[in-house]
Structure 1
Amino acid sequence: MLGAPVPPDEAARLLDLAQYHILDTAREEVFDRVTRLAARFLRVPVAVVNFVDVDRQWGKAMVGLDDSEAPREYSFCAWTILGDAPFVVPDASSDPRFMHNPMVTGEPHIRMYAGAPLITPRGHRIGTLCITDNKPHPLEEEDLRALQDLAAMAVNELELRSHLQRMQSQMSAQVEQAEDLRQRLEHARTLQAVHDLMDLPLTLEEAVREAATLIGQAIQADWTGLITFENGQPHTQRVYGQPDLHPVLFNLAERLNTAKQSVTHIMEGLNTPFYLDTYRDHPDALPAVVEAGLQAAAWVPLGTWEGKTLLMLTLRVGQERELPWRGSDRVLLEAAGRSVRAALNERAALQAAAQAARQDALTRALNRRALDEDLEQLEASGANYTLALMDLDGFKALNDTEGHAQGDKVLRLFAQALKVEVGDQGEVYRLGGDEFVLLLPEVVEEEDVYEMVDVAVPAAQQGAISRIGASVGVAQSSAVERSADVVKLADVRMYEAKRRRKDAQNQVEV
């Protein structure tokens, strides 16, 4: 299944979509009317007004479906927004782009799809009016023209809705409107820079810090910080601050980190940006911060990473403004927040895939590929390390007498016990069969390695009746020139240990 490519105007398109504030809103009759007309005129069971967001499609109005939200990679509409003309798929079940799509193989079982892009007055395609059928449904040119006409009606309703919202939110002051228009181009450039930044080979913290700095400076905030929630407690770090700020505000991060309660403490579950136009009126406002001149604050959710919730906090201080957060500010904050969240989700997926590729499926220890990569890194760094190669004595007999399922259990117990014993000192790898490697990034005495293995063997023994043991070969990187030679030396020493064990057993039997 092929996902649609990203349009070349993606950043400006997303900014245009964000300014309508349409995503995740309730159903509205004016848009429902468009889908009813489309379904009736074109004789189809399903008609939807969809918007294409950063990483999903979302439906505002629909006939024949309860919900049309889906990942962008599955979205037919993501293909429609690539051009101005209607996009038609006569038979999705035979189209290589869609034949394996869950919306084709499962519900709503799309067979025919046709969509007309929703083109804004700025020329950006932010969504579609689309129709589908679960059986063949040929369309005439007249049908496609009707679909385009109805799509234009939807855009007109969208423009009218946006205009009414602007009027209702008292954003009609000419000076503010002029400022918003002047900043649109600058904010589009900022959003594009955030997109590019998240694709650079930076650490997560570096990328998010730089993104928060760019966004804060673009909206001319006086102070911007990054908040990390862990176990319900926020940790704040300043990423940008005007040098002439009051010391209490400039060093606000330290104050928030020591406070037992603040407005920030209640923001962990935030899903959409929260704007506080008058900070001093909030019951959890910090008196010292109010005294220092803080007027307004905005908290923007950036997503989660490794179980930690990330938010951006940005502040305005000084002279009281009637509307401290302009419409263009909010559009940029919301669009940028979604972009960062999408980038975090992508990084998490890539990290999970990379981790799975380095992990042994049976024991959850690292695998041979991981060992080769880690040895290459250690060799490049020039650091000394200790490598122990081992296999389980008696394991073949255990498999023959008690079965492979019991053998697998012993392998899991041995790997788990060895990982617990090693802790943060090193890593455990399974090469295959009953062969394991212990890698310690420092010089460790052989006796200490044997002690670790001696703890793991009895733990593994609990899973078997047959008697098992372990033969171990230990090698130091300082004794050879290359990492491959360390493994060979450990292998030789392991088999020497195995031979000595067998000779000792034979003497006892004699």
Structure 2
Amino acid sequence: MPGAPVPPDEAARLLDLAQYHVLDTAREEVFDRVTRLAARFLRVPVAVINFIDVDRQWGKAMVGLGDSEAPRQHSFCAWTILEDTPFVVPNAPADPRFADNPMVVGEPHIHMYAGAPLITPRGHRIGTLCITDDKPHPLDEEDLRALQDLAAMAINELELRSHVLQMQQQISTQADQAEDLRRSLAHARTLEAVHDLMDLPLTPEEAAREAAGLIGQAIRADWTGLIVFENGRPCTQRVYGQPELHPVLFDLAEHLNMAGHSVTHIMEGLTEPFYLDTYREHPSALPKVVEAGLQAAAWVPLGTWEGKTFLMLTLRVNQERELPWRDSDRTLLEAAGRSVRAAFHERVIWNATARAARQDALTGALNRRAFDEDLEQYQRSREAFTVALMDLDGFKALNDTEGHAQGDKVLGLFAQALQAEVGNRGGVYRLGGDEFVLLLPGVYADDEVNRMVEGAVSAAQQGATGRIGASVGVAHNLEAGQAAAVTELADARMYGAKRRRTSARKLSVE
């Protein structure tokens, strides 16, 4: 099922959405009224005001549904924000873009969909007013004009709501407004840079560190750091610090890492940015840091990766201003944090898919595709490596006498035990049937490889009543050169070992 393409103005669009501070807020009557009018006038069971976030759609108001939140790749509304005109799907089950969509094949069982984009005064399409029906429901031009009119009412209400919030936050002077506008333009470029950064071939920790640096510079923070939680304990790294800072603040990462408890220590489960306008008032504030002049701090969650939780910490020191964190600063921190978290989530999904493509489903070992890829990489490295090919002796008899289910169990036991024997020294691959291969960095002697294999055979023997063994052939690139030649030599030696074992068995019987 294809998801909607990303609009070309995505970074600016997300920043525009973020400045309304509407995501994950409670229901409001002014927006509920719009959806009720849409459902009544257009004679549909479902009407929703949806906003399109980095990786999801989220509903602010709705009729006929309890919740409309869904992954962006499943969202009809993600298609609607691509154009200024209404987007209509008359027959979703017959449309190849949506035929297997969970909202079509499951609940709310969409048959007809129509959405009008919510277009901000700055020209960005941040969401939709949409209607659906679970049966055919033709719409005429008058219906679509009404849908657009109601969408315009919704954006007007959103603008009014935004203005009220701004008044409540006392952003009143022309100078402040001009500064926020300038900052917003700069922050849009920063968010674009963060998006580009997530596409670079960096480790998650490198990407999080670079993103923290970009964001900290954009909001002109005095100190910016990356916090990595692992096993419940934070490790803080300084990304940037003003040279003229008090030594305690410049070396804050060291102080936090040595502290047994601090504000940072309780931030591991953070799901949205946490701001302290007056750091010294927090009960877990570090006295030395307070004495050094820290005024305000902000912690921004950046996502999780392989058991590690990443947060950005940014500080302001001795700032003579009423608002340490301006609205434009908070908008950038929230939008950038969501972007980094979404990128991490995409990496998790991609890595899981890539691992599955390289894994043998029966034994859990790596598969032939993984072996071919890794062998090519070893060859390019020009370092010494060893290939050990093997297959299980007596396995056919085991399948014939104890059944294929028992044979599969033995293969699994052998693969798991062999990986345990090898540890992190190399890879275990199943090429097919009862044939396995080891790929090891460096040069390994036959005896060392045979000891690993014998240990795995002993473990696998626990799952079989008949006797099993393994024939092994070992070769390394220092004696055979190219990867293909190494594999061929290991294969020839494996079959030589098998012939010798067969001859030895015949002699013992005679």
Q: TM-score, normalised by structure 1?
A: 0.98
Cα distance in 2 for partners of 1:394, 1:320 equals 81
SS state at 2:197 partner: helix
Which residue number corresponds to residue 382 of structure 2? 382
Deviations 1:276-310 (A, max 9, x none): 00111111111111111111110011111112111
Q: Can you list the C-alpha shifts for 1:389-435, whole angstroms capped at 9, x where unaligned?
A: 11100000000010000000000000101111111111111111001
Which position in structure 2 is the counterpart of 1:123?
123
Distance in 2 between residues matched to 1:111 and 1:386, nearest whole Å: 59
Q: Is residue 466 of structure 2 the alignment partner of residue 466 of structure 1?
A: yes
% identical aligned pairs: 78
- Displacement of 1:174 in angstroms is 4.0
1:196 has 2:196 as partner: yes
Question: Aligned partners of 1:229 and 1:63: how far apart in 2?
Answer: 42
Deviation at 1:140, TM superposition (A): 1.7
Structure 2 Cα separation of the partners of residues 57 and 292 of structure 1? 44
Counterpart in the other structure of 1:337: 337
Match of 1:137, SS? coil
Question: Structure 1: any 5+ residue segments left out of the alignment?
Answer: none
Shift of 1:318: 2.2
Say yes or no: does 1:369 pair with 2:365.
Answer: no
Aligned to 1:404: 404
State the Cα distance separating 1:178 from its structure 2 match. Answer: 2.5
**Residue number in structure 1 paired with 2:283:** 283
Equivalent positions of 1:62-211 (< 5 A) are 62-211=62-211
What is the alpha-carbon distance in structure 2 between the residues aligned to residue 291 and residue 417 of structure 1? 57
Cα offset for 1:319?
3.1
- Give the Å deviation of 1:34: 0.7
Secondary structure in 1 aligned to 2:40?
A: helix
Within a 5 Å distance, the mapping from 1:285-434 to structure 2 comes to 285-434=285-434
**Residue 177 (structure 1) shift:** 2.6
Q: Is the 8 A contact 2:208 2:310 kept in 1?
A: no
Kindly state the Cα deviation for residue 484 of structure 1 after the two structures are TM-superposed.
0.9
Q: Give the Cα–Cα distance (whole angstroms) in 1 for the partners of residues 53 and 287 of structure 2.
A: 40
Q: CA deviation at 1:498?
A: 1.0
After superposition, give the CA deviation of every residue in 1:228-273 in whole Å (9 maximum; x if it has no partner): 1111111111111112212111111111111110100100111110
- 1:17-36 correspondence to structure 2 within 5 Å: 17-36=17-36
Q: Distance in 2 between matches of 1:112 and 1:506?
A: 74
> Which residue type is aligned with residue 51 of structure 2?
F
Alpha-carbon distance between aligned partners in 2 of 1:201 and 1:502, rounded to the nearest angstrom: 51
Tell me the secondary structure at the aligned position of residue 261 of structure 1: coil
Matched, 1:262 2:262: yes
What's the Cα RMSD here? 1.1
Alignment partner, residue 486 of structure 2: 486
Check whether the contact 1:176–1:326 (CA below 8 A) recurs between aligned residues.
no
What code does the residue aligned with 2:97 have?
A: R
Give 1:388's aligned amino acid: A
- Separation in 2, partners of 1:475, 1:80: 59
Aligned residue for 1:407, secondary structure, equals helix
Q: Normalized against structure 2, the TM-score is what?
A: 0.98
1:490 partner letter: A
Distance in structure 2 (CA, Å) of the matches to 1:117 and 1:419:
54
Q: Is the 8 A contact 1:474 1:494 kept in 2?
A: yes
Deviation digits for residues 109-168 of structure 1, max 9, x if unmatched? 111111111111111110011100011111121111111111111111111111111122
Distance, in Å, in 1 between the alignment partners of 2:278 and 2:174 is: 23
The answer (yes or no) to whether the contact 2:392–2:468 under 8 Å persists in 1 is yes
Instruction: Report the Cα offset of residue 106 of structure 1.
Output: 1.0
Partner amino acid, structure 1, of 2:170:
Q
- Shift, 1:2, TM fit: 2.3
Q: How many pairs were matched up? A: 510
Deviation at 1:202, TM superposition (A): 2.5
Q: Distance in 1 between matches of 2:156 and 2:218?
A: 30
**Amino acid of the structure 2 residue aligned with 1:376:** E
**d(CA) in 2 for partners of 1:183, 1:319:** 18
Structure 2 CA distance, aligned partners of 1:319 and 1:273? 20
